[in-house]
């Protein structure tokens, strides 16, 4: 540059003359209401909805903590496990004749596999750019059908399950203190009672025998005549042994 000759600007070819920054979203104004920029518009909405659900789950978790049951006993074949509520529909499906027993593979693999496979194929079968549900009959119908099936199976599982019995099976009970060498326990262990009521009076097929609130006479009557699901004639020992055992069970308390 020489004095009095003015100024000249030289462009650098390494810099784009008319370029946009990469973080500036494309202009979608010509498609109002049908699409939007993925970043940050769409992701921001997704994060906000996710945060609302996450806070809701945390509140429910704090307000209703997971219930605890007694320590798992692999030798207890009478215990009926139940999955969490969001798997109850699968639990109910496995109760039906066409999906249980020798056909377990149908209920456990085939039916869920078809449902998941159909869900994965929906985006390829429905290529419409519409976002309104009534304009997209295929995915809308599939989701409504899936929701109806899950709702029905969950409802059937809840209605048909014996929740009182399940609660009794899983109840946490204080251990009963007893002397395994005592005459009363030897009578109990040598009778058929131990098979249904457990080796520590904790209950199995039959209820727990501690804190029954029954008198000795009532226990003797039950041993001879049965009660509810317990058939009559279960006691096969002597009357003297039954009197000793009944007196012992009438005073059997947990935590003592």
CA 215 to chain CA mean position, Å:
40
Residue 233: CATH number of its domain: 1.10.760.10
pLDDT of residue 54: 95
Which residue among 111, 128, 160 closes a domain? Answer: 160
Residue 24 maps to a domain: no
pLDDT of residue 250: 81
Q: Are residues 155 and 91 both part of a single domain?
A: yes
SS3 227: strand
- Tokens for 93, please give them: 């499906």
Give the residue numbers spanning the domain of 116. 83-160
Domain count, the chain: 3
Residue 88: CATH number of its domain: 1.10.287.980
* Rounded Cα gap, residues 45 and 240, in angstroms: 77
pLDDT of residue 193: 80
Q: Are residues 156 and 187 both part of a single domain?
A: no
Q: Are residues 197 and 243 both part of a single domain?
A: yes
Q: Are residues 96 and 156 both part of a single domain?
A: yes
DSSP 24: S
Residue 191 maps to a domain: yes
Q: Are residues 195 and 240 both part of a single domain?
A: yes
pLDDT of residue 152: 94
Residue 18 maps to a domain: no
pLDDT along the chain (256 residues), means of 10: 56 53 58 68 89 94 83 72 86 86 86 86 78 81 89 92 78 69 80 78 75 81 80 80 83 68
Residue 211 maps to a domain: yes
């Amino acid at each position: 540059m020489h004095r009095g000759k003015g100024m000249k600007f030289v462009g650098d070819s390494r810099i784009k003359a008319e370029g946009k920054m990469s973080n500036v979203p494309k202009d979608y104004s010509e498609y109002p209401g049908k699409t939007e920029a993925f970043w940050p518009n769409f992701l921001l909405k997704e994060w906000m909805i996710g945060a609302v659900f996450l806070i809701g789950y945390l509140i429910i978790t704090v307000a209703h903590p997971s219930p605890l049951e007694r320590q798992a006993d692999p030798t207890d074949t009478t215990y009926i496990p139940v999955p969490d509520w969001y798997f109850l529909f699968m639990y109910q499906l496995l109760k039906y004749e066409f999906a249980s027993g020798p056909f377990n593979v149908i209920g456990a693999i085939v039916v869920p596999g078809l449902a998941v496979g159909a869900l994965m194929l929906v985006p390829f079968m429905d290529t419409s750019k519409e976002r309104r549900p009534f304009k997209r009959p295929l995915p809308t119908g599939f989701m409504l059908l899936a929701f109806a099936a899950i709702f029905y199976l969950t409802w059937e599982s809840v209605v048909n399950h014996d929740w009182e019995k399940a609660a009794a099976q899983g109840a946490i009970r204080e251990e009963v203190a007893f002397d395994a060498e005592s005459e009363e326990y030897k009578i109990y262990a040598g009778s058929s009672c131990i098979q249904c009521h457990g080796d520590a009076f904790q209950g199995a097929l039959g209820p727990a025998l501690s804190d029954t609130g029954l008198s000795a006479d009532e226990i003797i009557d039950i041993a001879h005549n049965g009660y509810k699901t317990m058939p009559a004639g279960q006691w096969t020992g002597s009357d003297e042994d039954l009197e000793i055992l009944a007196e012992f069970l009438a005073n059997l308390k947990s935590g003592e």
